[in-house]
Amino acid sequence: MKKVIDINLGGQKFTIDEDAYKELDTYLNTINNHFSTSSGFEDIIYDIEVRIAELLSEGSAQIVTLAKVEEIQKVMGTPEDFGADPSEEPADKVQKRFFRNPDDKVIAGVISGFAAYIGFKNVTALRFLVFLLFLSGVGIVPYIILWAIIPEAITASDKLAMKGEDININSIAKSVEESVTEIKETVEDISKNLKQKFS
């Protein structure tokens, strides 16, 4: 007989056996320690927890076992893989998902999200094609429907799944750090522009 523990991970509730809890707790503490000095630390940890919660939700088991936690570590990467270089072990391929892309949107990010989903690099050409469909009156209703039903890529995991990239510790951390860098650069550009206008 094993003791079970209720936990909350990535906003979801799970029942986990004691051995699995100890392993997962050690794993998450190792991740926390590793990324504690990274820019966007809290976002990295949150996105990693959300991804682990997604993996824990797969399957029909009611109680998370040690085997499931070990399986997740293989997908996400072991503590030895947390160095600066990406893991040498191949991660499980993620199924590409259609999301609206908030990082490259003109109206709602439907077109750039679709371009990422189909692997089409020239988003401008695709936007021009949709614009022509708008002018003919054909494209407006489908666009509005897609806007309403397609979720926006919010987390780093969503953005990686939108591009069909592996979702593991290194890719999530890299994605969040890139977002933080982009925000810093945007703030610096705005600051420079304001200084130039008022000087």
pLDDT tops 80 at residue 114: yes
Torsion sign across C-alpha atoms 59, 92, 53, 119: negative
What is the mean predicted confidence (pLDDT) over 113-137? 83
Q: For the chain, what are the domain ranges? A: 4-81+155-193, 110-149
Place of tokens 């407006």: 140
What's the rounded Cα separation, in Å, for the pair 53 and 13?
9
pLDDT tops 50 at residue 91: no
Q: When comparing pLDDT for 163 and 129, which is higher?
A: 129
Beta strands 12-17 and 4-9 are: antiparallel
What is the mean predicted confidence (pLDDT) over 50-64? 82
CB of 153 closer than 8 Å to CB of 101: yes
Query: Structure pTM?
Result: 0.47
Angle (CA) 97 102 107, round 5°:
110
Residue 89 is given by DSSP the state S
Retrieve residue 189's tokens: 């550009």
